[in-house]
Amino acid sequence: MTTHAFRMMLKPGQADEYRRRHDALWPDLAAALTDAGIHDYAIFLDPETNALFAVLKVHDDADRRATLPGLPVMQRWWDHMADIMEVEPSNRPCETPLIPMFHFA
């Protein structure tokens, strides 16, 4: 199992809408994430900077995670979120990987 962390950016004033959309996560998207080996996925907001910090765990079969961008449900979700986040031309959220610096278990 591996842990991945990354930063995304929310557009100003969109925190409530971001939460609302994630509270209503589509069942087919949740199934795709599970099928890709993703679990224990959390996203945190820094309200001063609008930075979103995501942390997720992936079962060792990481190849399944690489299939997510090609799934129609993932592309529909990116389109759904593009108006409230900083995104690439494909509407994929701009992600900056975070470097592990400390872990206490």
Q: Is pLDDT at 36 greater than 70 in this prediction?
A: yes
- In this prediction, residue 61 carries a pLDDT of 64
**39 classed as catalytic:** no
Q: Of 66, 69, 51, 82, nearest to 2 (Cα)? A: 66
- In this prediction, residue 72 carries a pLDDT of 97
Mean pLDDT of the region 23-52: 96
Instruction: Please provide the CATH number assigned to the domain covering 2-97.
Output: 3.30.70.100
- In this prediction, residue 81 carries a pLDDT of 98
- In this prediction, residue 62 carries a pLDDT of 58
Residue tagged active-site, from 4, 22, 39, 103 = 22
Q: 44-103 pLDDT, tens per residue? A: 999 999 999 999 999 876 577 888 999 999 999 999 999 999 999 999 999 999 999 999
Mean pLDDT of the region 27-47: 95
